[in-house]
């Protein structure tokens, strides 16, 4: 499933800082645990920004924040958490100052821009002492040095800037904690572009082991990485990742998928053979085995038949030249092909339909439908007839079909079977009404007439007679019936 | 300047359309644009020294542009520009950087994200949204969706209320809200009052059903692209194909698009009679009247005549195709699956179709079955095996995708009834006894769809006659057999002004519902204007249903969708056997 329960919970809980949360479980708050302290300190900063609103108005971004009036209407589902209600649509005070802090012109903001950078690192160590950040002189760096720090955005600001498509530098996020914080903010922002961007940076700067380990608990980020690797076709790393996660079935499927890009049939067959040992689920394993066996046979059949066709000795290939090679065709197509070209072969050959049926455990119905269509196409009506014939223990033959006779008629008709053939099968339709309508459709007059006779329906017979050709045998037959005094008509 | 363009998504949007548009506009020649090419995986043959690529931000497409490197090796200097639409992605630029052509190739972004298809339909033309978001779990388009909403908000807002359901909807909402906060606010009279956001994965059943309203059928059969359809010779009854826009400008189409197909013929023939009558008027006219007739009416009549014959042709062609495909039985099967009856027969219908390799059809119907009902493992396995035998073993990958996207629901085997059911199922195959198994199986199946359908009354009682000519509810869209889940949710939420009292429903839908009041001041007509945004695509049937709902309840719905979808597109986007 796409969304495992835990995944989802994780996901939404992690949106703590967006304030738009439906499902606030404050204490769980799992995603950002390791960075909680650092984040809290940012919050502190935010509140301070608020105090300095006067100065901040000079901000170059000039965004009038907080102008939308929000009011809240809780949904039924989140009602029980009514105490969290005000947090629902994000209150603008929360985020406003953050965006305003981009300001680069006012002195105070310059100062702050710098302290923010310095402070972020120092805070992780001493979050309890906020005064240090703003006032401690040792944190103030000479002006010339300040320039280097102008782009020292916090992880959250960095993510925000990335969302807006602005230039950022990720190089300063060097500690694992910083990197993960950056990633978590990106995930919180729900912007796949940013998440992938951060992941590309992490992939470059972290060892695989560390990256994979950290992603295991971050499903959203993990799926982005998997998609990224799929898109860049970094098969090797992707397989490593899936293995590290223990997703062996995915590993198997991914490797199996490679066969699609192998054009040469012999190489493809060998590749599939190698796939057999992959850790598929038992069910899929059987399908892959079938796939291999099928291609193996197709290669053999194709070689032989191509020669036979070129040789010009085999009649069926001359009369019905092959339209395409049988290579890489589905099983049923292969079966159809063999029913068409190799119907009478002995069971020992690879191309014998019965052999195929057995090897691939094709159901009776499926075999029947395929053989029927193939023989009908060749107009081999005696073969068609033989398909239905079964002998009971008394030695009588009767017609049996795993398919309704209505369908059989349908298939035969599509292969333009003549009326004489069709009526044999129309007659076998059990339901009288259905039989009549089929017979009428396919002009099997005898059946229509006999059925009406059996139903003792004189009116219908009279009606049908009108539709028939004057002086035809059918018309005479109806006349005879109508004049037959032994029939007791019901109307 | 040569201009190469290709959107990497399959077929959509139409390149020839873009080409036509571009050629018609005066701008390109002004800038000395030489030619338009489709971006393909091969070197560009052009004498121009400047090349401009307009592409979707996909890594694979960017890779194709490496040909730039080939130029350099050949000692040729050309200037390259890539314009990404609707967004520039970091990963694409990183790809250029990796290839050492970042800088030589400059990039830009064309944030084109809303294409109005009609008065009430806007498409983002992002068919890949579905696969990226719901299969791969990649949220790259969330912000784009938010931006689209933001754009509409800044043009027609402020919205008074927003409702939504689904994870992606919630994220798009948040993204929109952030962008509102980042941007400027101008006081304006609101033209759109309410917004409803819905994820495609909230309702997979509706898009997987065969469509039977005219517009939906036309899409299912002829594939409408960007509001345009190409009718082949079988429709035009000439040797030429005809490409036409299908929207409310087409007067005939406008009247039949939302109709159940069974009504369309009657309507068209009535229309044809009227037209004949109008033509006949000219008999017995004097010169003056004739002059007036020719100058005033004739053109309109001719136009109508043309449209009429086109739609009659299309209807005939639809009829022909559908009877060939056993459409009746397909519908019957679908309906019984929705109702949860005659499952055994439905499965055997499927088996038959799979083994006959009925093209396209079974590919979808297989899944259609699996998704709403949830299958017993035995049935699932056997259908899967037969499917693979008929369509190729490489569809293993497709099945894995379907499962990933949540389209395959296999019923857990734990229930005692299931075991019994499968035993009985093995013993009997004839009709009467089949009924027995059905009774068991419908008891055993307790999938969400069943429960939802009961809660929301999605499947009307089948014993009542449903007059399709006088539809009484949205069920007419599917011949009276099923009320579209997605649209039912819209109806209910608007009626209740939120999700109050729908706890059970939202629980069955996996939650993530919300209702927010953004600006309570909106008054007047705007309050009746509702923007419904489908994340992951919507079908023409859904649009028709909303139009019906709007007429019934006095709303005006405007549909925004990431793309127009239908059952084939949905399943195609999940195929796994493509390189």
The 10s digit of each residue's pLDDT in B236-284 is 878 888 888 888 888 888 888 998 888 888 888 888 888 888 878 777 7
The answer to whether residue B351 scores a pLDDT higher than 80 is no
User: Residue A38: its pLDDT value, please?
Assistant: 44
Tell me how close the Cα of B499 comes to any Cα of chain A, in angstroms. 6
φ, ψ dihedrals at B578, nearest 5° = -105, 145
pLDDT band at B570 (very low <50, low <70, confident <90, very high): confident
Of residues B499 and A414, the one with the higher pLDDT is B499
Average pLDDT over residues B501-524: 82
Highest mean pLDDT among A152-166, A196-210, B393-407, B463-477: A196-210
User: Residue B482: its pLDDT value, please?
Assistant: 83
Highest mean pLDDT among A14-18, A454-458, B160-164: B160-164
pLDDT band at A332 (very low <50, low <70, confident <90, very high): confident
Residue pair A114/A152 in contact (Cβ under 8 Å)? The answer is yes
**Average pLDDT, whole number, for chain B?**
76
* A273 in the same domain as A227: no
CA–CA–CA angle A267, A269, A273 (5° rounding): 115
Of residues A397 and A42, the one with the higher pLDDT is A397
Cα(A386)–Cα(A407) distance, integer angstroms: 17
The answer to whether residue A187 scores a pLDDT higher than 90 is yes
Q: Residue A103 CA to chain centroid, in angstroms?
A: 46
Q: Which of B90, B92, B106 is nearest to B59 (CA)?
A: B92
B131 touches chain A (CB under 8 A): no
The answer to whether residue B329 scores a pLDDT higher than 60 is yes
Cα(A35)–Cα(A177) distance, integer angstroms: 7
Burial of A144 (0-12, 13-18, 19+ CB in 10 A): exposed
Residues of B in contact with A250 (CB under 8 A): 400
Average pLDDT over residues B36-57: 74
User: Residue B537: its pLDDT value, please?
Assistant: 93
Last residue of a domain, one of A189, A215, A246: A246
Interchain CB distance below 8 Å, A67 and B185: yes
Q: Which of A201, A112, A197, A205 is nearest to A163 (CA)?
A: A197
* A260 in the same domain as A238: no
pTM (whole model) above 0.80:
no
Q: What percent of chain A has pLDDT over 70?
A: 67
Residue A5 within a domain: no
User: Residue A16: its pLDDT value, please?
Assistant: 41
Interchain CB distance below 8 Å, B167 and A65: no
ipTM: 0.83
Cα(B498)–Cα(B514) distance, integer angstroms: 8
Q: Which of A177, A229, A234, A238 is nearest to A199 (CA)?
A: A229
User: Residue B107: its pLDDT value, please?
Assistant: 87
CA-to-CA separations, B223 to A11, A322, B38, B229, B230, in angstroms, rounded: 38, 32, 21, 7, 8
User: What is the β-pairing status of strands B121-123 and B556-561?
Assistant: parallel
Among the partner-chain residues A163, A228, A411, the one whose CB lies closest to the CB of B91 is A228
The answer to whether residue B376 scores a pLDDT higher than 80 is no
* A208 in the same domain as A279: no
Please give the tally of structural domains in chain A.
2
Cα(B259)–Cα(B421) distance, integer angstroms: 40
* A253 in the same domain as A358: yes
Residues of B in contact with A96 (CB under 8 A): 181
User: Residue A444: its pLDDT value, please?
Assistant: 81
User: Residue B7: its pLDDT value, please?
Assistant: 35
Give the number of beta-carbon pairs within 8 Å between A and B: 219
Prior bond of B471 cis (ω within 30°): no
Length of chain B: 579
Interchain CB distance below 8 Å, B400 and A92: no
Cα(B404)–Cα(A433) distance, integer angstroms: 47
Q: Residue A55 CA to chain centroid, in angstroms?
A: 54
φ, ψ dihedrals at B455, nearest 5° = -60, -45
Sign of the torsion angle spanned by Cα atoms B356, B358, B361, B363: positive
B52 touches chain A (CB under 8 A): no
Interchain CB distance below 8 Å, A231 and B498: no
User: Residue B19: its pLDDT value, please?
Assistant: 59
Of residues B42 and A143, the one with the higher pLDDT is B42
A229 lies in which domain range? Answer: 149-246
Prior bond of B159 cis (ω within 30°): no
Tell me how close the Cα of A75 comes to any Cα of chain B, in angstroms. 6
CA–CA–CA angle B326, B330, B335 (5° rounding): 150
Beta strands in A40-87 (DSSP E): none
Last residue of a domain, one of A328, A362, A396: A362
Of residues A239 and A309, the one with the higher pLDDT is A239
**Average pLDDT, whole number, for chain A?**
73
User: Residue A280: its pLDDT value, please?
Assistant: 92
Searching chain B, which residue's CA lies closest to the CA of residue A220? B137
Residues of A in contact with B182 (CB under 8 A): 63, 99, 164
Q: What percent of chain B has pLDDT over 90?
A: 17
Interchain CB distance below 8 Å, B185 and A64: yes
User: Residue B353: its pLDDT value, please?
Assistant: 58
For residue A206, how many other CB atoms are within 10 A of its CB? 17
Residue A40 within a domain: no
Among the partner-chain residues A11, A73, A200, the one whose CB lies closest to the CB of B516 is A73
The answer to whether residue A252 scores a pLDDT higher than 60 is yes
Average pLDDT over residues B375-389: 73
Residue A380 within a domain: no
Cα(B265)–Cα(A451) distance, integer angstroms: 35
* A307 in the same domain as A232: no
Q: Which range is least confidently modeled, A146-150, B239-243, B458-462?
A: A146-150
User: Residue B113: its pLDDT value, please?
Assistant: 83
Searching chain B, which residue's CA lies closest to the CA of residue A96? B181
Tell me how close the Cα of B144 comes to any Cα of chain A, in angstroms. 9
Q: Which of A275, A411, A417, A274 is nearest to A336 (CA)?
A: A411
Q: Which of B396, B410, B495, B578 to mutate to test the interface with A (most CBs of A within 10 A)?
A: B396
* A275 in the same domain as A352: yes
> In the structure encoding, which two tokens stand for residue A398, read together?
């009767």
Residues of B in contact with A77 (CB under 8 A): 499, 503, 506, 511, 513
Interchain CB distance below 8 Å, B91 and A231: yes
Q: Residue B411 gets which letter from DSSP?
A: P
Among the partner-chain residues B139, B174, B406, the one whose CB lies closest to the CB of A20 is B174
User: Residue A293: its pLDDT value, please?
Assistant: 93
Residues of B in contact with A224 (CB under 8 A): 137-139
pLDDT band at B234 (very low <50, low <70, confident <90, very high): confident
**Relative orientation angle of helices A176-188 and A192-205, to the nearest 10 degrees:** 160
User: Residue B387: its pLDDT value, please?
Assistant: 79
* A231 in the same domain as A280: no
Residue A339 within a domain: yes
Highest mean pLDDT among A309-318, B26-35, B455-464: A309-318
Residue pair A31/A14 in contact (Cβ under 8 Å)? The answer is yes
Residue A278 within a domain: yes
User: Residue B345: its pLDDT value, please?
Assistant: 59
Half-sphere exposure of residue B64: CA atoms within 13 angstroms, side-chain side: 21
Tell me how close the Cα of B280 comes to any Cα of chain A, in angstroms. 37
Three-state secondary structure along A85-116? HHHCCCCHHHHHHHHHCCCCCCHHHHHHHHHH
pLDDT band at A386 (very low <50, low <70, confident <90, very high): confident
* A297 in the same domain as A195: no
User: What is the β-pairing status of strands B115-118 and B2-6?
Assistant: unpaired
> In the structure encoding, which two tokens stand for residue A229, read together?
């690797």
Last residue of a domain, one of A225, A246, A267: A246
Residue B115: strand, helix, or coil: strand
Among the partner-chain residues B390, B393, B506, the one whose CB lies closest to the CB of A291 is B393
**Torsion, Cα of B123, B126, B132, B134 (10° steps):** 20
Residues of B in contact with A363 (CB under 8 A): 351, 355, 386
Residue A268 within a domain: yes
Q: Which range is least confidently modeled, B31-40, B183-192, B256-265, B570-579?
A: B31-40
Q: Residue B384 CA to chain centroid, in angstroms?
A: 26
Searching chain B, which residue's CA lies closest to the CA of residue A78? B514
* A286 in the same domain as A242: no
Q: What is the pLDDT of residues A271-322, one digit of tens each?
A: 999 999 999 998 899 999 999 999 999 999 999 888 888 887 788 888 888 8
* A356 in the same domain as A313: yes
For residue A407, how many other CB atoms are within 10 A of its CB? 17
Residue A139 within a domain: no
Tell me how close the Cα of A260 comes to any Cα of chain B, in angstroms. 6
* A286 in the same domain as A319: yes
Q: Which of B91, B102, B135 is nearest to A203 (CA)?
A: B91
**Beta bridge pairs of residue B195:** B162, B531
Q: Residue B165 gets which letter from DSSP?
A: E
Cα(B225)–Cα(B500) distance, integer angstroms: 39
Residue A468: strand, helix, or coil: coil
> In the structure encoding, which two tokens stand for residue A56, read together?
């901040």
Tell me how close the Cα of A490 comes to any Cα of chain B, in angstroms. 29
Cα(B522)–Cα(A98) distance, integer angstroms: 30
* A278 in the same domain as A216: no
Q: Which range is least confidently modeled, A432-436, B36-40, B133-137, B212-216?
A: B36-40
Of residues B342 and A204, the one with the higher pLDDT is A204
**Beta bridge pairs of residue B102:** B105
Q: How far apart are the first and last CA of chain A?
A: 64
Cα(B173)–Cα(B516) distance, integer angstroms: 10
> In the structure encoding, which two tokens stand for residue B529, read together?
């204007």
CA-to-CA separations, A237 to A208, A251, B256, B579, in angstroms, rounded: 9, 11, 54, 18
- CB-based contacts of A174: which residues, under 8 Å, 6+ apart? A205
| Residue position matching structure tokens 């404050």 | A26
Residue A65 within a domain: no
């Amino acid at each position: 499933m796409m969304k495992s329960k835990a995944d989802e919970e994780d996901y939404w809980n992690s949106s703590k800082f967006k304030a738009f949360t439906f499902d606030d479980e404050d204490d769980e708050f799992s995603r950002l645990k390791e960075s909680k302290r650092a984040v809290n300190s940012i919050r502190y900063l935010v509140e301070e920004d608020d105090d300095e609103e006067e100065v901040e108005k000079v901000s170059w971004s000039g965004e009038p924040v907080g102008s939308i009036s929000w009011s809240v209407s809780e949904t039924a589902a989140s009602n029980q958490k009514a105490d969290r209600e005000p947090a629902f649509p994000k209150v603008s005070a929360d985020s406003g100052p953050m965006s305003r802090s981009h300001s680069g012109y006012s002195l105070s903001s310059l100062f702050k821009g710098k302290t923010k950078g310095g402070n972020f690192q120092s805070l992780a160590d001493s979050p309890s002492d906020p005064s240090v950040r703003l006032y401690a002189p040792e944190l103030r760096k000479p002006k010339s040095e300040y320039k280097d720090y102008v782009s020292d955005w916090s992880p959250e600001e960095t993510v925000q800037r990335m969302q807006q498509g602005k230039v950022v530098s990720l190089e300063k996020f060097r500690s694992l904690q910083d990197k993960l914080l950056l990633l978590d903010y990106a995930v919180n922002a729900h912007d796949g572009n940013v998440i992938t961007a951060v992941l590309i940076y992490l992939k470059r700067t972290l060892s695989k082991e560390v990256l994979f380990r950290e992603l295991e608990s971050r499903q959203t980020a993990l799926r982005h990485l998997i998609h990224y690797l799929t898109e860049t076709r970094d098969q090797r790393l992707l397989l490593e990742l899936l293995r590290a996660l223990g997703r062996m079935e995915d590993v198997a499927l991914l490797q199996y998928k490679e066969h699609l890009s192998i054009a040469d049939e012999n190489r493809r067959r060998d590749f599939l053979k190698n796939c057999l040992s992959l850790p598929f689920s038992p069910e899929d394993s059987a399908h892959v085995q079938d796939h291999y066996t099928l291609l193996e046979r197709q290669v053999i059949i194709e070689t032989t038949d191509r020669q036979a066709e070129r040789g010009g000795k085999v009649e069926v290939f001359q009369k019905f030249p092959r339209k395409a090679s049988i290579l890489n065709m589905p099983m049923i197509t292969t079966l159809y092909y063999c029913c068409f070209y190799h119907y009478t072969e002995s069971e020992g050959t690879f191309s014998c339909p019965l052999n195929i049926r057995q090897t691939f455990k094709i159901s009776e119905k499926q075999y029947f439908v395929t053989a029927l269509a193939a023989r009908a196409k060749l107009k081999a009506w005696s073969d068609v007839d033989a398909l239905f014939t079964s002998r009971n223990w008394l030695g009588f033959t009767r017609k049996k079909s795993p398919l309704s006779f209505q369908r059989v008629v349908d298939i035969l008709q599509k292969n333009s079977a003549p009326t004489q053939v069709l009526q044999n099968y129309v007659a076998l339709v059990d339901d009288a009404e259905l039989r009549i309508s089929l017979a009428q459709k396919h002009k099997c007059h005898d059946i229509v007439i006999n059925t009406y006779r059996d139903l003792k329906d004189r009116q219908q017979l009279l009606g049908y007679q009108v539709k028939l050709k004057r002086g035809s045998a059918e018309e005479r037959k109806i006349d005879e019936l109508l004049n037959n005094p032994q029939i007791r008509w019901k109307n | 300047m040569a201009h190469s363009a290709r959107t990497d998504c399959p077929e959509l949007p139409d390149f020839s359309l873009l080409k036509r548009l571009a050629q018609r506009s005066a701008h390109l020649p002004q800038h000395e644009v030489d030619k338009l090419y489709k971006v393909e995986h091969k070197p560009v043959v052009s004498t121009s020294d400047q090349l401009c690529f307009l592409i979707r931000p996909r890594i694979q497409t960017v890779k194709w542009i490496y040909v730039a490197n080939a130029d350099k090796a050949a000692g040729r200097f050309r200037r390259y520009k890539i314009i990404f639409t609707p967004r520039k992605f970091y990963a694409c630029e990183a790809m250029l950087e990796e290839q050492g052509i970042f800088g030589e190739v400059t990039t830009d972004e064309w944030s084109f994200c809303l294409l109005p298809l009609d008065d009430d339909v806007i498409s983002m033309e992002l068919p890949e949204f579905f696969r990226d978001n719901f299969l791969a779990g990649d949220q790259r388009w969330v912000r784009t969706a938010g931006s689209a909403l933001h754009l509409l908000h800044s043009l027609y807002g402020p919205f008074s209320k927003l409702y939504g359901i689904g994870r992606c909807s919630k994220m798009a909402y948040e993204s929109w809200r952030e962008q509102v906060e980042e941007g400027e606010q101008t006081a304006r009279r609101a033209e759109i009052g309410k917004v409803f956001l819905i994820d495609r994965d909230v309702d997979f059943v509706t898009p997987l059903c065969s469509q039977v309203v005219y517009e939906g059928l036309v899409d299912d059969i002829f594939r409408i692209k960007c509001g345009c359809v190409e009718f082949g010779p079988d429709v035009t009854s000439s040797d030429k194909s005809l490409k036409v826009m299908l929207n409310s400008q087409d007067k005939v189409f406008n009247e039949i698009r939302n109709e159940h197909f069974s009504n369309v013929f009657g309507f068209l023939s009535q229309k044809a009679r009227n037209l004949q009558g109008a033509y006949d008027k000219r008999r017995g006219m004097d010169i003056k009247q004739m002059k007036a007739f020719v100058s005033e009416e004739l053109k309109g009549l001719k136009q109508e005549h043309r449209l009429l014959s086109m739609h009659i042709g299309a209807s005939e062609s639809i009829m022909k195709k559908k009877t060939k495909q056993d459409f009746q039985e397909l519908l019957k099967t679908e309906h019984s699956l929705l109702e949860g009856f005659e499952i055994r027969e439905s499965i055997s219908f499927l088996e038959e179709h799979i083994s006959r390799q009925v093209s396209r059809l079974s590919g979808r119907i297989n899944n259609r079955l699996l998704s709403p009902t949830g299958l017993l493992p035995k049935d699932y396995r056997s259908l899967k095996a037969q499917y693979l035998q008929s369509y190729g073993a490489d569809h293993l990958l497709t099945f894995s995708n379907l499962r990933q996207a949540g389209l395959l629901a296999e019923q857990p085997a734990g229930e005692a009834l299931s075991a019994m059911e499968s035993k009985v199922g093995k013993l009997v195959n004839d009709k009467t006894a089949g009924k027995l198994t059905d009774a068991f199986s419908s008891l055993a199946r307790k999938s969400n769809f069943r429960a939802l359908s009961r809660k929301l009354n999605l499947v009307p009682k089948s014993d009542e006659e449903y007059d399709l000519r006088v539809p009484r509810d949205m069920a007419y869209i599917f011949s009276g057999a099923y009320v579209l889940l997605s649209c039912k949710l819209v109806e209910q939420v608007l009626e209740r002004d939120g999700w109050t009292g729908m706890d059970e429903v939202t629980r069955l839908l996996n939650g993530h519902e919300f209702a927010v009041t953004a600006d309570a001041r909106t008054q007047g007509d705007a309050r009746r204007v509702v923007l419904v945004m489908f994340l992951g695509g919507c079908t023409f049937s859904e649009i028709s249903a909303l139009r019906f709902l709007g007429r019934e309840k006095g709303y005006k719905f405007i549909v925004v969708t990431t793309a127009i979808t239908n059952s084939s597109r949905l399943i195609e986007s999940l195929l796994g056997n493509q390189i």
